[in-house]
Structure 1
Amino acid sequence: MAKPHSRQSLILATHENFEQLEHILTSLSAADRKREFPFKGRDRNVRDVLVQVAAWQKMYLDWSTANLAGEAKRFMPKPYTWQTSGKLSQRIWQQNQSHHLCRGPQSARESA
Protein backbone atom coordinates (compact mmCIF):
# COMPACT_ATOMS: atom_id res chain seq x y z
CA MET A 1 0.00 0.00 0.00
CA ALA A 2 1.24 3.47 -0.86
CA LYS A 3 2.00 6.00 1.86
CA PRO A 4 -1.17 7.70 3.04
CA HIS A 5 -1.49 11.30 1.81
CA SER A 6 -4.89 12.18 3.25
CA ARG A 7 -6.70 11.76 6.55
CA GLN A 8 -9.00 9.16 5.01
CA SER A 9 -6.14 7.10 3.55
CA LEU A 10 -4.26 7.31 6.87
CA ILE A 11 -7.29 5.98 8.77
CA LEU A 12 -7.73 3.18 6.22
CA ALA A 13 -4.04 2.26 6.40
CA THR A 14 -4.22 2.23 10.21
CA HIS A 15 -7.11 -0.22 10.17
CA GLU A 16 -5.44 -2.44 7.56
CA ASN A 17 -2.13 -2.50 9.45
CA PHE A 18 -3.91 -3.28 12.72
CA GLU A 19 -5.70 -6.20 11.07
CA GLN A 20 -2.36 -7.47 9.74
CA LEU A 21 -0.80 -7.22 13.20
CA GLU A 22 -3.76 -8.99 14.77
CA HIS A 23 -3.50 -11.77 12.17
CA ILE A 24 0.22 -12.21 12.85
CA LEU A 25 -0.31 -12.30 16.61
CA THR A 26 -3.18 -14.79 16.51
CA SER A 27 -1.23 -17.04 14.15
CA LEU A 28 1.69 -17.35 16.59
CA SER A 29 1.84 -20.44 18.76
CA ALA A 30 1.90 -20.00 22.53
CA ALA A 31 5.61 -20.90 22.49
CA ASP A 32 6.36 -18.31 19.79
CA ARG A 33 4.50 -15.60 21.71
CA LYS A 34 6.78 -16.26 24.71
CA ARG A 35 10.03 -16.83 22.78
CA GLU A 36 12.89 -14.39 23.30
CA PHE A 37 14.15 -12.51 20.24
CA PRO A 38 17.69 -13.49 19.16
CA PHE A 39 19.28 -10.13 19.99
CA LYS A 40 20.22 -8.14 23.03
CA GLY A 41 18.19 -5.11 23.95
CA ARG A 42 15.26 -3.87 25.92
CA ASP A 43 12.30 -5.33 24.04
CA ARG A 44 13.08 -9.03 24.04
CA ASN A 45 9.71 -10.64 23.17
CA VAL A 46 6.27 -9.97 21.68
CA ARG A 47 4.90 -8.80 25.03
CA ASP A 48 7.63 -6.19 25.42
CA VAL A 49 6.96 -4.78 21.93
CA LEU A 50 3.19 -4.66 22.43
CA VAL A 51 3.57 -2.99 25.82
CA GLN A 52 5.69 -0.24 24.22
CA VAL A 53 3.19 0.24 21.38
CA ALA A 54 0.26 0.42 23.81
CA ALA A 55 2.01 2.84 26.19
CA TRP A 56 3.07 5.23 23.42
CA GLN A 57 -0.38 5.00 21.83
CA LYS A 58 -1.99 5.90 25.16
CA MET A 59 0.35 8.88 25.55
CA TYR A 60 -0.58 10.06 22.05
CA LEU A 61 -4.32 9.63 22.61
CA ASP A 62 -4.21 11.42 25.98
CA TRP A 63 -2.15 14.25 24.48
CA SER A 64 -4.29 14.70 21.37
CA THR A 65 -7.59 14.47 23.27
CA ALA A 66 -6.48 17.09 25.79
CA ASN A 67 -5.09 19.46 23.17
CA LEU A 68 -8.17 19.15 20.95
CA ALA A 69 -10.25 20.08 24.01
CA GLY A 70 -8.12 23.22 24.46
CA GLU A 71 -6.03 21.90 27.37
CA ALA A 72 -2.31 22.36 26.77
CA LYS A 73 -0.67 19.07 27.71
CA ARG A 74 2.81 17.67 27.35
CA PHE A 75 3.14 14.57 25.21
CA MET A 76 5.41 12.72 27.64
CA PRO A 77 5.02 12.76 31.41
CA LYS A 78 7.44 14.93 33.35
CA PRO A 79 10.41 14.80 33.66
CA TYR A 80 10.82 13.04 30.28
CA THR A 81 11.64 14.84 27.03
CA TRP A 82 12.38 13.61 23.52
CA GLN A 83 16.05 13.51 24.52
CA THR A 84 15.24 11.18 27.44
CA SER A 85 12.54 9.13 25.70
CA GLY A 86 14.77 6.05 25.92
CA LYS A 87 14.64 6.30 29.71
CA LEU A 88 10.85 6.53 29.54
CA SER A 89 10.73 3.42 27.36
CA GLN A 90 13.00 1.65 29.86
CA ARG A 91 10.63 2.63 32.70
CA ILE A 92 7.64 1.35 30.70
CA TRP A 93 9.51 -1.92 30.12
CA GLN A 94 10.38 -2.31 33.81
CA GLN A 95 6.83 -1.58 34.97
CA ASN A 96 5.35 -4.22 32.69
CA GLN A 97 7.60 -7.23 33.18
CA SER A 98 4.96 -9.02 35.29
CA HIS A 99 2.25 -8.66 32.61
CA HIS A 100 1.30 -11.55 30.37
CA LEU A 101 -0.13 -11.58 26.88
CA CYS A 102 -3.84 -12.28 26.68
CA ARG A 103 -4.65 -15.67 25.35
CA GLY A 104 -5.63 -15.52 21.72
CA PRO A 105 -7.68 -18.07 19.77
CA GLN A 106 -4.57 -20.16 19.00
CA SER A 107 -3.48 -20.51 22.64
CA ALA A 108 -7.03 -21.30 23.75
CA ARG A 109 -7.10 -24.21 21.27
CA GLU A 110 -3.67 -25.42 22.38
CA SER A 111 -4.67 -25.62 26.04
CA ALA A 112 -7.90 -27.57 25.32
Structure 2
Amino acid sequence: MGRATTKNDLISAANSNFEKLTMLVNSMSEKELITPFDFSGDDKKKEAHWSRDKNLRDVLIHLYEWHQLLLNWVSTNMSGNERSFLPEPYNWKTYGAMNVGFVEKHQNTSLDKAKESLMQSYQAVMKLADTFSNEELFSKGTYKWVGGSTLGSYFVSTTASHYDWAIKKIKAHIKNCKGM
Protein backbone atom coordinates (compact mmCIF):
# COMPACT_ATOMS: atom_id res chain seq x y z
CA MET A 1 0.00 0.00 0.00
CA GLY A 2 1.24 3.50 -0.79
CA ARG A 3 1.20 6.38 1.66
CA ALA A 4 -2.27 6.78 3.18
CA THR A 5 -4.43 9.57 1.77
CA THR A 6 -7.71 8.71 3.54
CA LYS A 7 -8.68 8.23 7.16
CA ASN A 8 -9.44 4.55 6.60
CA ASP A 9 -6.06 3.97 4.96
CA LEU A 10 -4.31 5.88 7.75
CA ILE A 11 -5.97 3.81 10.48
CA SER A 12 -5.39 0.57 8.61
CA ALA A 13 -1.73 1.24 7.80
CA ALA A 14 -0.95 2.47 11.31
CA ASN A 15 -2.61 -0.54 12.94
CA SER A 16 -1.01 -2.99 10.53
CA ASN A 17 2.51 -1.61 10.91
CA PHE A 18 2.18 -1.30 14.68
CA GLU A 19 1.08 -4.93 14.86
CA LYS A 20 4.07 -5.98 12.70
CA LEU A 21 6.39 -3.96 14.94
CA THR A 22 4.93 -5.48 18.11
CA MET A 23 5.20 -9.01 16.73
CA LEU A 24 8.81 -8.41 15.67
CA VAL A 25 9.77 -7.01 19.08
CA ASN A 26 8.05 -9.88 20.87
CA SER A 27 9.88 -12.42 18.69
CA MET A 28 13.36 -11.13 19.57
CA SER A 29 15.67 -13.56 21.35
CA GLU A 30 17.49 -12.69 24.57
CA LYS A 31 20.71 -12.30 22.57
CA GLU A 32 19.02 -9.87 20.16
CA LEU A 33 17.59 -7.90 23.08
CA ILE A 34 20.86 -7.52 24.99
CA THR A 35 23.25 -7.06 22.06
CA PRO A 36 23.90 -3.34 21.43
CA PHE A 37 22.94 -2.05 17.99
CA ASP A 38 26.02 -1.65 15.82
CA PHE A 39 25.71 -0.77 12.15
CA SER A 40 29.20 0.71 11.83
CA GLY A 41 30.28 -2.09 9.49
CA ASP A 42 27.66 -1.21 6.87
CA ASP A 43 28.77 1.64 4.60
CA LYS A 44 25.19 2.06 3.33
CA LYS A 45 23.92 3.02 6.77
CA LYS A 46 25.22 6.60 6.93
CA GLU A 47 22.17 8.46 8.31
CA ALA A 48 22.58 9.72 11.88
CA HIS A 49 19.96 7.40 13.35
CA TRP A 50 22.05 4.31 12.54
CA SER A 51 24.64 5.40 15.09
CA ARG A 52 22.25 7.25 17.43
CA ASP A 53 20.11 4.34 18.62
CA LYS A 54 22.11 1.83 20.66
CA ASN A 55 19.34 -0.63 21.54
CA LEU A 56 15.68 -1.52 21.17
CA ARG A 57 14.68 0.87 23.98
CA ASP A 58 16.15 3.81 22.06
CA VAL A 59 14.07 2.93 18.98
CA LEU A 60 10.84 2.46 20.95
CA ILE A 61 11.37 5.66 22.93
CA HIS A 62 11.97 7.53 19.66
CA LEU A 63 8.53 6.40 18.46
CA TYR A 64 6.97 7.29 21.82
CA GLU A 65 8.48 10.80 21.80
CA TRP A 66 7.25 11.45 18.25
CA HIS A 67 3.77 10.35 19.36
CA GLN A 68 4.07 12.94 22.15
CA LEU A 69 5.07 15.62 19.63
CA LEU A 70 1.95 14.90 17.58
CA LEU A 71 -0.41 14.67 20.57
CA ASN A 72 0.88 17.91 22.10
CA TRP A 73 0.93 19.76 18.78
CA VAL A 74 -2.65 18.88 17.91
CA SER A 75 -3.93 19.55 21.44
CA THR A 76 -2.19 22.92 21.69
CA ASN A 77 -3.36 24.10 18.28
CA MET A 78 -6.92 22.82 18.67
CA SER A 79 -7.18 24.80 21.92
CA GLY A 80 -6.36 27.98 19.99
CA ASN A 81 -2.67 28.33 20.86
CA GLU A 82 -0.88 28.15 17.53
CA ARG A 83 2.55 26.55 17.56
CA SER A 84 4.72 24.62 15.15
CA PHE A 85 5.05 20.84 15.20
CA LEU A 86 8.66 20.85 16.36
CA PRO A 87 9.24 22.53 19.72
CA GLU A 88 11.58 25.50 20.05
CA PRO A 89 14.45 25.74 19.32
CA TYR A 90 14.21 22.97 16.71
CA ASN A 91 13.24 23.12 13.05
CA TRP A 92 13.28 20.64 10.17
CA LYS A 93 17.01 21.26 9.65
CA THR A 94 17.97 20.76 13.32
CA TYR A 95 15.54 18.11 14.55
CA GLY A 96 18.36 15.53 14.61
CA ALA A 97 19.60 17.16 17.80
CA MET A 98 16.10 16.82 19.26
CA ASN A 99 16.17 13.09 18.48
CA VAL A 100 19.54 12.77 20.25
CA GLY A 101 17.97 14.56 23.21
CA PHE A 102 15.19 11.96 23.31
CA VAL A 103 17.78 9.17 23.60
CA GLU A 104 19.67 11.02 26.32
CA LYS A 105 16.46 11.77 28.23
CA HIS A 106 15.58 8.06 28.39
CA GLN A 107 18.88 6.45 29.38
CA ASN A 108 17.29 5.37 32.68
CA THR A 109 14.06 4.15 31.08
CA SER A 110 13.74 0.37 31.12
CA LEU A 111 12.83 -1.61 28.02
CA ASP A 112 9.58 -2.68 29.69
CA LYS A 113 8.69 0.95 30.46
CA ALA A 114 9.55 1.93 26.87
CA LYS A 115 7.22 -0.79 25.55
CA GLU A 116 4.44 0.28 27.93
CA SER A 117 4.85 3.98 27.11
CA LEU A 118 4.82 3.27 23.38
CA MET A 119 1.65 1.17 23.65
CA GLN A 120 -0.13 3.90 25.62
CA SER A 121 0.95 6.68 23.27
CA TYR A 122 0.03 4.60 20.21
CA GLN A 123 -3.47 4.11 21.62
CA ALA A 124 -3.76 7.84 22.35
CA VAL A 125 -2.64 8.77 18.82
CA MET A 126 -5.09 6.34 17.23
CA LYS A 127 -7.91 7.59 19.45
CA LEU A 128 -7.07 11.16 18.45
CA ALA A 129 -6.94 10.30 14.74
CA ASP A 130 -10.38 8.77 15.03
CA THR A 131 -11.85 12.07 16.28
CA PHE A 132 -11.16 13.74 12.93
CA SER A 133 -13.14 13.30 9.73
CA ASN A 134 -11.50 12.23 6.49
CA GLU A 135 -11.79 15.82 5.24
CA GLU A 136 -10.21 17.26 8.40
CA LEU A 137 -7.31 14.86 8.06
CA PHE A 138 -6.66 15.00 4.33
CA SER A 139 -7.96 18.29 2.92
CA LYS A 140 -5.34 21.04 2.60
CA GLY A 141 -6.20 24.32 4.26
CA THR A 142 -8.51 22.83 6.88
CA TYR A 143 -6.25 23.98 9.70
CA LYS A 144 -4.06 27.04 9.20
CA TRP A 145 -1.50 25.74 11.73
CA VAL A 146 -0.76 22.69 9.57
CA GLY A 147 0.73 24.90 6.86
CA GLY A 148 0.77 23.66 3.29
CA SER A 149 0.37 20.01 4.23
CA THR A 150 -2.52 18.03 5.70
CA LEU A 151 -3.07 16.99 9.29
CA GLY A 152 -3.29 13.39 8.10
CA SER A 153 0.21 13.53 6.67
CA TYR A 154 1.54 14.24 10.17
CA PHE A 155 -0.37 11.25 11.51
CA VAL A 156 0.97 9.02 8.73
CA SER A 157 4.54 10.16 9.31
CA THR A 158 4.28 9.68 13.07
CA THR A 159 2.60 6.28 12.85
CA ALA A 160 2.75 3.94 9.85
CA SER A 161 5.86 5.45 8.23
CA HIS A 162 7.73 5.66 11.53
CA TYR A 163 6.79 2.07 12.45
CA ASP A 164 8.09 0.93 9.07
CA TRP A 165 11.39 2.73 9.79
CA ALA A 166 11.63 0.99 13.18
CA ILE A 167 10.87 -2.43 11.69
CA LYS A 168 13.63 -2.06 9.10
CA LYS A 169 16.10 -0.97 11.76
CA ILE A 170 15.22 -3.81 14.14
CA LYS A 171 15.39 -6.37 11.32
CA ALA A 172 18.87 -5.06 10.40
CA HIS A 173 19.91 -5.49 14.05
CA ILE A 174 18.52 -9.05 14.16
CA LYS A 175 20.41 -9.87 10.95
CA ASN A 176 23.61 -8.50 12.53
CA CYS A 177 23.07 -10.69 15.60
CA LYS A 178 22.63 -13.81 13.47
CA GLY A 179 25.97 -13.05 11.78
CA MET A 180 27.84 -12.99 15.09
TM-score (norm 2): 0.52
Q: Does 1:8 align with 2:18?
A: no
Q: Which has the higher helix share?
A: 2
Q: In 2, are the aligned partners of 1:4 and 1:13 still within 8 Å (CA)?
A: yes
Residue 106 of structure 2 corresponds to residue 96 of structure 1: yes
Name the CA distance, whole Å, in 1 between partners of 2:59 and 2:27. 17
Task: Please list, as runs of the form range in 1=range in 2, the aligned pairs for 1:8-87 lying within 5 A after superposition.
Answer: 8-40=8-40, 41-87=51-97
Q: How many residue pairs get matched?
A: 104
SS at match of 1:91: helix
Distance in structure 1 (CA, Å) of the matches to 2:80 and 2:37: 42
Tell me by how many angstroms 1:2 deviates: 4.0
Please, which runs of 5 or more residues in structure 1 have no aligned partner? Answer: 105-112
Q: Which runs of 5+ in 2 are unaligned?
A: 41-50, 116-180
TM-score (norm 1): 0.80
Question: Structure 2: how far apart are the matches of 1:84 and 1:29?
Answer: 35
Give the partner amino acid of 2:11.
I
- Taking only the aligned residue pairs, the percentage that are identical comes to 32
